[in-house]
Chain A
Amino acid sequence: MERALNRLPKWMKRWEWILVLLILMVYAIFSQLQPDNYTLPKLLNQTRVYMVDVGFMALGILVVLILGDIDISIAATAALSATVMAVSYNQGAGIPFIAAIALMLLTGAVCGLVNGLLVTRFPELFPMIITLSTQTLYRGIAYIILKDQSAGRFPSWFAKDLGYGSFKLFGLDVPIMLVCILAVLPIYYIWLHKSASGRRIFAAGTNLTASRYSGIRTGRIKVMAFTLNGIMAAVGGFFLTSRTGSVKYTLATGFEMQAIAIAVLGGASTSGGRGSVIGLLLALILMTGLKNGLMLVYNDAFILNLSIGLLLILIVLIPNLAGRLRQQNALRRQRLSLQKT
Chain B
Amino acid sequence: MQEDTYILQMEGITKIFPGIRALDGVQLDLRPGEIHALIGENGAGKSTLIKVLTGIHQPDAGVIRLNGLEVVMTDPLVARRHGIAAIHQHLATYPDLSVAENIFMGNEQTWGPLSAINWRKTRERAGAIIASLGSDIDPSAEMGTLSVAQQQIVEIAQALSQNARVLIMDEPTAALSLRESEELYNIVRSLKAKGTAIILISHRLEDIFSLADRVTVLRDGRYIGSWDIGETDSEMLVKHMVGRTIDQFYPKKTAPVGEAILKVEGLSRTGFFEDISFTLHAGEILGLTGLVGAGRTEVVEVLSGVTRPDKGSISILGEEKDITSPHEALKQGVSLLPEDRQKQGLLLPWSVQDNITLPRLDLHQKRGLLSPQSEKAAGEEYIDLLNIKVRTGLDTAESLSGGNQQKVVISKLLTCGSRIIIMDEPTKGVDVGSKAAIYQIMCDLAQEGYGILMVSSEMPEILNLCDRALVMREGRISAVFSQEEMQPERLLKAAMPLDKSQKGSAEHA
The interface of chain A, by Cβ under 8 A from chain B, is 1-7, 190, 194-196, 199-200, 203, 206-207, 209-217, 219, 273, 327, 330-331, 334-335, 338
B401 neighbours in A (Cβ, 8 Å)? none
B347 at the binding interface (Cβ < 8 Å): yes
B369 at the binding interface (Cβ < 8 Å): yes
A211 touches B16 (CB 8 A): no
B326 at the binding interface (Cβ < 8 Å): yes
Q: How far is the CA of A5 from the CA of B348 in the complex (A)?
A: 10
Q: How far is the CA of A2 from the CA of B390 in the complex (A)?
A: 12
A338 touches B351 (CB 8 A): no
A194 touches B369 (CB 8 A): yes
Q: Given A2-B396, A210-B346, A338-B61, does the pair A195, B368 have CB atoms closer than 8 Å?
A: yes
Stretch from B45-53, B223-231, B279-287, B337-345 that touches the partner: B337-345
Q: Given A207-B343, A216-B327, does the pair A3, B358 have CB atoms closer than 8 Å?
A: no
Q: What residue of chain A has the Cβ atom nearest to residue B331's Cβ?
A: A215
B412 neighbours in A (Cβ, 8 Å)? 214
Give me 11 A-to-B residue pairs in the complex whose CB atoms sit less than 8 angstroms apart, sorted by A's number.
A7-B394, A195-B370, A206-B347, A207-B343, A211-B358, A216-B358, A219-B325, A331-B18, A334-B60, A338-B14, A338-B60
B327 touches A4 (CB 8 A): no
B16 neighbours in A (Cβ, 8 Å)? 334-335, 338
Q: How far is the CA of A3 from the CA of B358 in the complex (A)?
A: 17
A215 touches B359 (CB 8 A): yes
B346 neighbours in A (Cβ, 8 Å)? 207, 210
Q: How far is the CA of A330 from the CA of B20 in the complex (A)?
A: 12
B465 to chain A, nearest CB (A): 24
Query: Please, what's the 1-or-0 string for B334-367, where 1 marks a CB less than 8 Å from any CB in chain A?
Result: 0010100001111111110110001101101100
B298 at the binding interface (Cβ < 8 Å): no
Main secondary structure of the interface of A (DSSP, over half): helix
Q: Which residue from A194, A211, A273 sits with its C-beta under 8 Å from B349?
A: A273
A38 to chain B, nearest CB (A): 40
B335 to chain A, nearest CB (A): 8
Q: Given A210-B345, A338-B61, does the pair A217, B325 have CB atoms closer than 8 Å?
A: yes
Main secondary structure of the interface of B (DSSP, over half): mixed
A69 to chain B, nearest CB (A): 17
B413 to chain A, nearest CB (A): 10
B343 neighbours in A (Cβ, 8 Å)? 207, 209-210
B330 at the binding interface (Cβ < 8 Å): yes
A199 touches B306 (CB 8 A): no
Q: How many A-B residue pairs have CB under 8 A?
A: 99
A213 touches B61 (CB 8 A): no
B429 to chain A, nearest CB (A): 17
Q: What residue of chain A has the Cβ atom nearest to residue B392's Cβ?
A: A1
Q: Given A4-B349, A207-B348, does the pair A213, B358 have CB atoms closer than 8 Å?
A: no
B416 at the binding interface (Cβ < 8 Å): yes
Q: Given A195-B368, A213-B345, A214-B326, does the pair A5, B350 have CB atoms closer than 8 Å?
A: yes
A199 neighbours in B (Cβ, 8 Å)? 354, 358, 361, 370
Q: Given A210-B347, A213-B336, A330-B18, does the pair A203, B358 have CB atoms closer than 8 Å?
A: yes
- How many residues on the B side are at the interface (Cβ–Cβ under 8 A)? 41
A1 touches B395 (CB 8 A): yes
Q: Given A207-B346, A210-B343, A331-B18, does the pair A215, B327 have CB atoms closer than 8 Å?
A: yes
B110 at the binding interface (Cβ < 8 Å): no
A196 touches B361 (CB 8 A): yes
Q: What residue of chain B has the Cβ atom nearest to residue A2's Cβ?
A: B396
A214 touches B18 (CB 8 A): no
Q: What residue of chain B has the Cβ atom nearest to residue A198's Cβ?
A: B370
B120 at the binding interface (Cβ < 8 Å): no
Q: Given A1-B395, A4-B394, does the pair A217, B327 have CB atoms closer than 8 Å?
A: yes
B338 to chain A, nearest CB (A): 5
Q: How far is the CA of A241 from the CA of B336 in the complex (A)?
A: 51
Q: How far is the CA of A209 from the CA of B346 in the complex (A)?
A: 9
B370 touches A4 (CB 8 A): no
B344 touches A200 (CB 8 A): no
Q: How far is the CA of A216 from the CA of B349 in the complex (A)?
A: 18
Name 6 extra pairs, CB < 8 A, besides A214-B412, A330-B18, A334-B18: A2-B395, A4-B350, A196-B362, A206-B349, A214-B358, A331-B18
Q: How far is the CA of A5 from the CA of B16 in the complex (A)?
A: 27
A335 touches B60 (CB 8 A): yes
The residue among B347, B353, B365, B394 with the most chain A CB atoms within 10 A of its own CB is B347
Q: Which residue from B60, B326, B347 sits with its C-beta under 8 Å from A207?
A: B347
Q: Which residue from B336, B338, B370 sits with its C-beta under 8 Å from A194?
A: B370
Q: How far is the CA of A334 from the CA of B16 in the complex (A)?
A: 7
B354 touches A6 (CB 8 A): yes
Q: How far is the CA of A295 from the CA of B322 in the complex (A)?
A: 60
A327 touches B18 (CB 8 A): yes
A2 touches B399 (CB 8 A): yes
Q: What residue of chain A has the Cβ atom nearest to residue B395's Cβ?
A: A1
Q: Given A5-B350, A195-B369, does the pair A212, B361 have CB atoms closer than 8 Å?
A: no
Q: How far is the CA of A152 from the CA of B159 in the complex (A)?
A: 70
B391 at the binding interface (Cβ < 8 Å): yes
A206 touches B350 (CB 8 A): yes
Q: How far is the CA of A331 from the CA of B399 in the complex (A)?
A: 18
A335 neighbours in B (Cβ, 8 Å)? 16, 60
Q: How far is the CA of A330 from the CA of B325 in the complex (A)?
A: 43
Q: How far is the CA of A331 from the CA of B57 in the complex (A)?
A: 13
B84 to chain A, nearest CB (A): 24
B213 to chain A, nearest CB (A): 34
The residue among A1, A4, A214, A338 with the most chain B CB atoms within 10 A of its own CB is A214
A194 neighbours in B (Cβ, 8 Å)? 369-370
Q: Given A195-B368, A213-B336, does the pair A7, B347 have CB atoms closer than 8 Å?
A: no
Q: How far is the CA of A210 from the CA of B347 in the complex (A)?
A: 7
A10 to chain B, nearest CB (A): 12
A3 touches B351 (CB 8 A): yes
Q: Which residue from A3, A207, A212, A338 sits with its C-beta under 8 Å from B394?
A: A3
